[in-house]
Amino acid sequence: MRDALVAAAFRLFLERGYEQTTVDDIVALAGVGRRSFFRYFPSKEDVVFPDHERCLADMTAFLAASDEGHEPVLRVCDAARLVLGMYAENPSFSVQRYRLTKQVPGLRAYELSVVWRYERALAEYLRGRFTGRPDGSLRADVVAAAVVAAHNNALRSWLRSDGKGDASTTVDHALGYVQSAFGAPPAAPAPEHPEDPERPERPEDVVVVVSRRGAPLWRVVREIETTLGRE
């Protein structure tokens, strides 16, 4: 019945517009009573995002099941992938909803509040892991915001392409950027010459960076980037 209500609601939203559709219209099309609607959805907004509550619960459970062995930035990236999974489960529904949300300010506001809840869940977990580190709460908030922004940038680009292509490749790439910015190891790429006995260490395999001890880290990093990119 829940799925029937969502299907009826979306059919009407697309035909008449979101604002012009009432809960009465939805239940009439689905052939159920108003009480049934409100048993599943607290409001008309909620029927547009029927799976976020479940996904938030999944994310919270996933993070709660972490242990000390999980690298924290990698872990919140994996948690964000749960949201992607929810969108990718049903591409055509996700694309329809994306278009609808862009048109209706009230839905945009609802979505912002959902995104904020995901971000809080990630930040809470990171605060726990960063306890005792300098700037732990700052780092937690910044990393959580960066992960959400990267995820949403990739998700939007997939939705704008009408859900074509592989969403997870785009999201992996975006999350990899955040991981590199915050010092978490990205998934190790396969070496170009794995254990190749024909390719012994050569002197050009070594980069030497010489730096004054007082130099700010960003300058050292920039030098390394420049050096590595110069080949």
Which residues 198-227 are close enough to bind its own copies by CB under 8 A?
A: 204-214, 216-222, 224-225
In single-letter form, the type of residue at position 79 comes to: A
- Does position 112 bind its own copies by CB under 8 A? yes
**CA atoms of 59 and 110, how far apart (whole Å):** 19
Which residue number, 8 or 123, has a Cβ lying nearer to its own copies?
A: 123
Tokens of 176: 């990899």
| Token digits of residue 209 | 């960076």
Piece of the chain touching its own copies by CB under 8 A; list 16-24, 50-58, 81-89, 172-180: 172-180
Residue 193 carries which DSSP code?
Answer: S
| Structure token pair of residue 90 | 């049903």
The Cα 181–Cα 196 span in angstroms is 31
56 near its own copies, rule: CB under 8 A: no
Q: What is the C-alpha R_g of the chain? A: 23
Residue 185 carries which DSSP code?
A: P
Closer Cβ to its own copies, 35 or 192, answer by number: 192
Contact status: 184 vs its own copies (CB under 8 A):
yes
Contact letters (x/-) for its own copies, 131-170, by CB under 8 A?
----x-xxx-xx-xxx-xxx-xxx--x-------------
- Nearest by Cα to 182 from 219, 144, 227: 144
Task: Give the residues lining the site for its own copies (CB under 8 A).
Answer: 108-109, 112-113, 116, 135, 137-139, 141-142, 144-146, 148-150, 152-154, 157, 173-174, 177-186, 188-189, 191-192, 204-214, 216-222, 224-225, 228
